[in-house]
Chain A
Amino acid sequence: MSLLAARGATLRYVDHGKEHFAVDGVSLEVQPNEFLGILGPSGSGKSSLLYLLSGLKVPSSGQIEFDGRPLSQMDDTERSRLRLKEFGFVFQQPYLLGYLSALENVRIAEMDADNSAAAVALLNQLGLGEKLHRLPHELSGGERQRVCVARALMGNPKVIFADEPTASLDHRNGVAVVSLLNQLRGEGSLVMVTHDETMLAEADRVVRLVDGKVSD
């Protein structure tokens, strides 16, 4: 059984009275421990698909299932709990809380957990062992995104969603971040959205998205 699946997932929106499809009847499956790349040009609906898969958005029609259970059967609180416990997120921009140190920013991925040791270990693996207590403004862009990677990996999530995680980085740093994400995800699956095919060199499988539809 697949870990995560989209079944005819559609995300429709109305703009100036006209109906548009950000995601149009997409069906795909993510297997345990799989690195799935979703590739597509800007505006192809790949980020929207990622939000549907992660429960951040609710499909207009179709289903998203995690461990065989439709997300539509869950209420907001259950979906939030799922995101916090089972999913990890890396966004385009390295969003960190400015008043928390790198270590604390990683620790927020697990609520009320005694998790400093795990967070320190992750930051050490990501080469930030000397900068645990630096505030975000004291880190470079690449370092900030690595802190975000550590945050996404905290608690060994079953699925890590990465939405153009290299968008704010130069190519070398981008490749390094994706490689680290892939190395450190352990048993977790990785679903990564990008427009840059070279970032998906380590992916097990790549799905191409055009105009909200899977193209092959």
Chain B
Amino acid sequence: MRTRGGEKAGRRSNPLAPITYLLRNAGKTIPLTGVIVLAVMLVAGIISMINSIPLSIRTIYSYSKEFTGVTPRGDATKTLPILEEIQAKSPYAIDRVIICRVTVTEIQSIVGKWPFYFIGMNDADTRYYLQRQRVTGVEGRLPRAGLPEAVISRPVAKNLNLKIGSEILGPTKEGGFSPNSVKVVGIAETDRWLMLSSIEYLREYHFPPIDLGMVSAKDPAEQPKLDQWADKHFKGRQAGILGYFQVEKDTNEMFATLYLILNVVIGTLVLVVTLMMSMLINIYQGQRLVEFGLLQAIGYTKKQILTRVLTETVLVVILGWVLGLFAAFGLLNLAKTVMMDPKSYALDVLDPVAYAYSIPMPLAILAVAAGTVWWRFRKFDPIGVVERRIV
């Protein structure tokens, strides 16, 4: 013999199992779960998208991890002495010193245009630089000395929708001026963002007439230490040190206030959703007073009933949270595919911070639900039910 739930008569099963209630009252279970799913998806989605901005900064300027940049702060005569001093005094072995020229252009980000260095160096340095930036191959060729040509990396090509032959700088190019039309002649295969040209072209046509330097440590793992040493060593002198650590520092400072605001917004959202959930849970429990009264009257203890109701709530909250995480993952993947990847915008669909932000919500809902149930049962009288006073 089979029952509605598919159990065999005589087989041990409990009609009062929390899962039985949840499955057979889908009209109540689904809205509760749905609210949690949407809220978790919203929180994880918002945090991931916001986090994509600093992640983009770190990704776009990650090329600076490979070199310590040196500027003479406007005095062209100081470049070589500074570089010589670094070579002489650095506690870390130096692999190469590159002399370069730089002009500034723009790339697209999710929050508008950002400045990006268009760097000129000689052919040998260009080859070394590309190798250091983990380039696995180049479609096309490298720029020739003195010609208005550039090699860019694949993320830059996608971001600016450039192909070989496209103009990257030009007399009428908004945000990327050059007196000649500078064409892309090569696209480097790497996840780093790069724009390179010949130093001869930049010396000929671009301002300011100051050479800069880039110094690479022999051991790439020592590059951050070299950055820090150089920054400390030249502090207060006419020498600017540019390292990846500054990108990190500036980004963290820039987003500190935003994250504070975000915490308040997410906190408010958690509060609103928790209040909404507690109201729903309260309404649904109110509709079950007859059930609770009957069970208590025939001999179930308050503790047993309370445990059952809380188990149901825990199951709903966990289900909603897990589904919410999957929904957020799906939504972020969709956003990444449709919106972010075509422009090489960075988005971490498995951002642990984003998912961690969703944890307070189920915890708050559980706490409020437990409190609501406990409050309701505190003075609950089953006689009121069987006498139909509260039905």
Contact = CB atoms under 8 A, between A and B. Distances in A.
Is B truly associated with A? yes
Interface of A: 47, 51, 56-57, 76-77, 80-85, 87, 89, 91-93, 95, 97, 99-101, 103-105, 107-109, 111-112, 114, 116-117, 120, 132-133, 135, 151, 163
Interface in B14-38: 14-16, 20-21, 24-25
Contacts of B262: none
Contacts of A51: 383
B249 interface: no
A80 B300 contact: yes
Interface in B287-308: 290-291, 294-304
Given A51-B383, A111-B304, A112-B14, 6 more contacts: A57-B383, A76-B302, A104-B3, A104-B4, A107-B15, A114-B11
Contact of A82 (B8, B299, B383, B385): B299
B237 interface: no
Contact of A56 (B297, B303, B388): B297
B383 A84 contact: no
Q: In the complex, which range does the number of interface residues on chain B fall in?
A: 35 or more
B139 interface: no
A96 to B, nearest CB: 8
Contacts of B386: 56, 89, 91-93, 95, 163
A20 to B, nearest CB: 16
A101 B16 CA distance: 12
Contacts of A135: 4
* Nearest 10 interchain pairs by C-beta: A84-B299, A83-B299, A104-B15, A99-B24, A116-B9, A114-B12, A80-B301, A117-B10, A95-B294, A91-B386
A28 to B, nearest CB: 21
A89 B297 contact: yes
Nearest to B293: A95
Nearest to A135: B4
Nearest to B16: A108
Given A56-B383, A104-B3, A108-B15, A92 B298 contact: no
Contacts of B25: 99
B383 A83 contact: no
Contacts of B21: 99
A81 B301 CA distance: 8
A103 B3 contact: yes
Nearest to A101: B4
Contacts of B13: 116
B319 to A, nearest CB: 18
Instruction: Name, among B296, B383, B386, the residue most crowded by chain A CB atoms within 10 Å (CB to CB).
Output: B386
Given A112-B14, A114-B11, A95 B3 contact: no
A208 to B, nearest CB: 21
B278 to A, nearest CB: 23
Nearest to B290: A95
Contacts of A77: 301, 303
A16 to B, nearest CB: 17
B191 to A, nearest CB: 55
A93 B388 contact: yes
B111 interface: no
A202 to B, nearest CB: 24
Nearest to A114: B12
A85 B299 contact: yes
Contacts of A105: 15
A135 B24 CA distance: 11
Nearest to B386: A91
B1 interface: yes
Given A83-B297, A85-B299, A91-B297, A116 B7 contact: yes
A76 B301 contact: yes
Contacts of A93: 386, 388, 391
B382 interface: yes
A47 B387 contact: yes
A162 B388 CA distance: 15
A151 B299 CA distance: 12
A76 to B, nearest CB: 7
Given A80-B299, A99-B24, A107-B15, A133 B290 contact: no
Nearest to A98: B291
B290 to A, nearest CB: 6
A81 B5 CA distance: 28
A11 to B, nearest CB: 11
A108 B7 contact: no
16 contacts: A77-B303, A80-B300, A80-B301, A81-B301, A84-B298, A91-B386, A95-B294, A95-B385, A100-B15, A104-B5, A104-B15, A108-B295, A109-B298, A111-B14, A112-B12, A163-B386
Contact of B3 (A57, A89, A101, A111): A101
Most B CB contacts (10 A, CB to CB) among A76, A85, A95, A135 go to: A95
A204 B8 CA distance: 40
A86 B20 CA distance: 27
A89 B298 contact: yes
Contacts of B12: 112, 114
B86 to A, nearest CB: 77
Contacts of B387: 47, 92
A80 B297 CA distance: 8
Contacts of B1: 120, 132
B192 to A, nearest CB: 60
B387 to A, nearest CB: 7
Contacts of A47: 387
A83 B298 contact: yes
